[in-house]
């Protein structure tokens, strides 16, 4: 599995992290090395294996449909990096 610069750029974009040129180079090397190590899983025959649904238990975990106390408005906004009134504020969005 070849990790080229284009793939590193693409991954950085997918996970929304701004990488410096230097980081892109070192990450490329790291990813190459680690992914090569990961490739050993290909040696195993898993053709007869089904990914198991859960840890064997067939229990449905639900919550009853009842309203409960949430956070008071000021608590909810307390960690906001920026706010306007009672809204969380962020820069404008490029139309997606």
In angstroms, rounded to a whole number, what is the distance separating the alpha carbons of residues 64 and 51? 30
- Kindly state whether residue 21 participates in binding other proteins, applying the rule CB under 8 A: no
**22: contact with other proteins by CB under 8 A:** no
Q: Is 60 in the site for other proteins (CB under 8 A)?
A: yes
CA distance 12 to 31: 12
How far is Cα 18 from Cα 74, in angstroms, rounded to an integer?
A: 32
* Residues lying near other proteins in the complex (CB under 8 A): 7-8, 11-12, 14-19, 23, 27, 30-31, 33-35, 37-38, 40-42, 44, 46, 49-55, 57-71, 73, 75-82, 84-96
């Amino acid at each position: 599995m070849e990790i080229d610069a284009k793939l590193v750029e693409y991954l950085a974009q997918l996970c929304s992290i701004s990488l410096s040129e230097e980081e892109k180079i070192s990450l490329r090397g790291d990813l190459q090395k680690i992914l090569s190590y990961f490739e050993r899983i290909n040696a195993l025959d898993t053709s007869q294996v089904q990914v198991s649904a859960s840890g064997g238990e067939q229990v449905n975990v639900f919550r009853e449909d009842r309203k409960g106390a949430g956070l008071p408005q000021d608590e909810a906004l307390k960690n906001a990096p920026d706010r306007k009134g009672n809204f969380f504020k962020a820069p404008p969005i490029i139309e997606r």
